[in-house]
Amino acid sequence: MGVLVLLALALPFLISSDAVRSSLLNRAQEITGREMQFNGDPRVSFSPFLGIEIRDVVFTSYNAGSDQNPILRMPILRAKLNFTAALRGQVTIDEFQFIQPEFNIRIFANGETNWAFPNGKVWRSLQEAKTVRETTETGTQPKIENLTDLNLGRFSVISGVINYQNDTSERNETITNFNGSLLWPNIKAGWTFNGEGIWRGDIVNMNLTAATPVMLMAGGSSKLNAQIKSETINVDFEGETNRFSDLFFIGKASATAPSLRKMIGFFGGQSGVGSNLLDFKASGNLSGTLKDLQIESAAISLDGNSYSGGLRFTNQLNKTNKISGTLASPVLDLTPYVTGLMSDAGLKGVFDILNQAETDLRLSASTMQVGGLKLSNFAGGFMVKDKNVKLDIGNAGIGDGIIVGNLQAIQNGDVYEVSAKIDAAAIDIASMEALEFISGIRPVGKSDIKLQLTSNGKEFADLAKETNGDFSIGMKSGQLLGLNFGDIRSLLNEATETQSNIQIGNSPKQTQVSDFALNTLINRGVGWVHDSQFKVDEFDVKMSGKADLRSGNLALWGIIAKQDAKTLPESSQFFLGGTLAEPLYVPQFGSALPEEQNITTVDPSNKASEPRTTN
C-alpha cells in the first residue's frame, strides 16, 4: 500500500503539464469536434480518483452566434487517468466528470441544432455507420465490427443544469439538480445511461440501455430499454427505436400515474381539480413517434374502470391534439364523472380538460351505469371537438327494452348549452334500479319513451332551472302505481251527494290501464301535461295540467267517461293535486251546470283527425 501511495505522489513528476494539457485538448477535439477552452493549467488530483482537474471549461456551440450561450460550460472538469499508463508517463483518460455543468441545447428556426458535430472522430464514426446502414441488405444486421475503433469511456455529471430551447415550437425546458452517468466504452458497443434530475418540479429518474447507439445516431435502429420513474408518472419500454424518418418506437410499454390530472398538468395541460381522473394504468404494444403514438392490444384502467382495445395520440404543433381509438369495458361506471359535473369545479373544470384534445372514441361495455341506472350491451361513442362534447348511445338495453340517443354539451363562453335525446322501446320504468327510491304515481309495464331536452346555464345547478323540451310515454297495457281509479270513481259518486269528499292517494294501490299515453311539454323545469289519456275498464280518462319536475307538485285536471257515452256527467270531473308521492283527489262541481255537456277533444295519436265528442 505504501508503495502505491509513493507512486501516486510521484505522478506529477512522471507526467508533464504540457502533456496533460495537450491530451485533454486533443481528446475533446477528437470526440466532439469542438474546441475546449479553459483557464489555468491542469493539475493532478487524488480525490475522488486519480485524475486531472481543470477549471472554467467552455465548449462553444456549432454555428455559434454572438447571442448564443456555449453548448457546455462548467466550473470544474475532472478526467480520470489510467493508473498503469500514468506510471509509464502516458496520459490515458478513462472517465470525464463534469462538476456543476450547464448544458445549453438549442434547435434553431431553420431546423439546425447547436450540437451537430461537423468534424471529429465521433462524427466520422457516424458517417461510417451511415454508410454501413445504407449498404446493408434488408433483413440483415449491419456489420458494426467494420467501424473504426474509437474508445469513449464513462461520462458523469454532478449537480448539472440542462437548458433546452426549440425555436420551431417556441418550447423551453429546464432540468436542474441533474446527476447522471453514461457508460459507452467503445463506439461499437452499447451504452448504459442512468440519471436523475428535477423537471417541472418533479424528481425524475431515468435508466436507458441501447444495444447499437451509433447506428441509431446515424439514422438507423437499436434495441432500447427504458425506465422512467417519478412521483407523477412511471414508464417502462422494451423494444426497438429507429430514426429512419422521425424518432420511432416499437415494443411493449406500460405507464402508471397515481393521478391522471396531475400527469396532464405535468406535461403542460389544464388539469383542474376533482375526485375523478386519478388512478391511471396502461400497457400494450406501442408504436409510433412522440408526435403520433399508437397503443394496441392495450389494457387500460382509470378511476376503477378497465378497458381493452387500442388508442392513438397525435400531438399537433400549435394545434389541438387528437385522441382516437376503440375501447371495450366489462363495466363502465360513469358515476364519478357525473358527480364531477356537480362539484365546485363543475362544467368549466371538465371542459378545461376535455377541450385540450379532439377526441373520437368508439366505446362498448357489457354494463354501463350512472348511479342506479344500468344499461346492458352498450355500444356508442364519445366525441370532443370545437368545445362540443357528445356521448352517443348507439344501442343499449334496459331490461328487455332497448334505448338509443345522445347527450351533448356545447361551451359558448362561460355558458353551457346542454341537450339530450332519448328513444326507448319496451322499457319498464318500474324495473329500473335508478328509480326505486321514487314513490308515488308511475307507470308499470313495457313502454315506449321519447325524450328531448335542452338547457343552458353557467353552472350545473342552473341547468335544471332552465330545462325545456318534450317527454312522452306510451304503454299498450300495464298499471298505474299510486292511483286507484276505482277509489276515484267511488269518491266521485259519493261527492255527487256530499260535494265535500277528498282523498289522499295511497301509493301501493294501482290501476290496470291500457292505451296509456302521456305527453308533456317541459318549460323551465315544469311539465305541462297535454293530449294525455288512457283506458280503465270501460272508461276513458283524459288529463291535462302541470307537474313541477323539481318539487313533484301536481296540478292536473281529469275527466272520467264511459267509452260509449255521449254525455259527460258533472261527477266525472276531478282535480289531482298534492305531490307525486301523495296525490290529492278532489271532485269538481259547478252550481249551474246542465245535466249533460259535450266535450270536444282531438285524438292525440292523429292531430290532423276530425274532432270527436266523448263523455
Summarised one tens digit per residue, pLDDT across range 130-166 is 888 888 888 788 888 888 888 888 999 999 999 999 8
Torsion of CA 419, 425, 429, 433, to 10 degrees: -80
- In terms of Cβ atoms closer than 10 Å to its own Cβ (0-12, 13-18, 19+), residue 609 is exposed
Burial class (CB in 10 A: 0-12, 13-18, 19+), 534: buried
What integer is the mean pLDDT of 187-202? 95
- Which tens digits make up the pLDDT trace of 389-426? 999 999 999 888 999 999 999 999 989 999 999 999 99
Residue-wise pLDDT tens digits, 534-549: 998 888 889 999 988 7
Q: Which residue has the cell 405507464?
A: 255
Using the structure block, give the residue that is written with the C-alpha cell 291535462: 544
Contact between 518 and 529 (Cβ < 8 Å): yes
E strands, 413-525, in order: 415-428, 442-444, 446-457, 468-481, 503-504, 510-523
3-state secondary structure of 160: strand
Mean pLDDT of 362-385: 92
CA 601, CA 615: separation in Å to the nearest integer? 10
Q: Residue 382 in contact with residue 359, Cβ under 8 Å?
A: yes
Q: Alpha-carbon distance 407 to 334, whole Å? A: 13
Range scoring the smallest mean pLDDT among 170-179, 225-234, 556-565, 586-595:
586-595
pLDDT at 36 over 60: yes
Phi, psi of 21 (to 5 degrees): -60, -45
Give the whole-angstrom CA distance, residue 202 versus residue 389: 32
**pLDDT (tens digit, 9 = 90+) per residue, 297-328?**
999 999 989 999 999 999 876 678 999 999 99
Name the pLDDT band for 506 (thresholds 50, 70, 90): low
Q: CB under 8 Å, gap of 24 or more: what pairs does 591-598 form?
A: 595/567, 595/569, 596/567, 596/568, 596/569, 597/567, 597/568, 598/567, 598/568
Higher-pLDDT residue of 340 and 165 is 165
213, pLDDT greater than 90: yes
pLDDT > 60? residue 484? yes
* Burial class of 482 by CB neighbour count within 10 A (0 to 12, 13 to 18, 19+): buried
Q: Which of 112-121, 177-186, 364-373 has the lowest mean pLDDT?
A: 112-121
Residue in 328, 434, 433 with CA at minimum distance from that of residue 379: 328
- Average pLDDT value over all residues in the chain: 82
DSSP H or E run through 314: strand 305-314
3-state secondary structure 415-428: EEEEEEEEEEEEEE
Give yes or no for residue 66 having a pLDDT over 60.
no
The pLDDT value given to residue 598: 39
Per-residue model confidence (pLDDT) at position 614: 38
**Residue with the larger pLDDT of the pair 31 and 475:** 475
Which residue, among 96, 110, 116, 90, has the nearest Cα to 49 in the 3D structure?
96
Average pLDDT over residues 292-296: 95
Q: How far is CA 582 from CA 431, 536, 548, in A?
A: 21, 21, 14
- 390 burial via Cβ count (<10 Å: 0-12, 13-18, 19+): middle
Indicate whether 592 pLDDT > 60: no
- Residue 615 is predicted with a pLDDT of 37
What is the Cα gyration radius of the chain? 39
Q: Is the pLDDT of residue 8 over 60?
A: no
Which pLDDT value is given to residue 258?
95
Does residue 97 register a pLDDT over 50?
yes
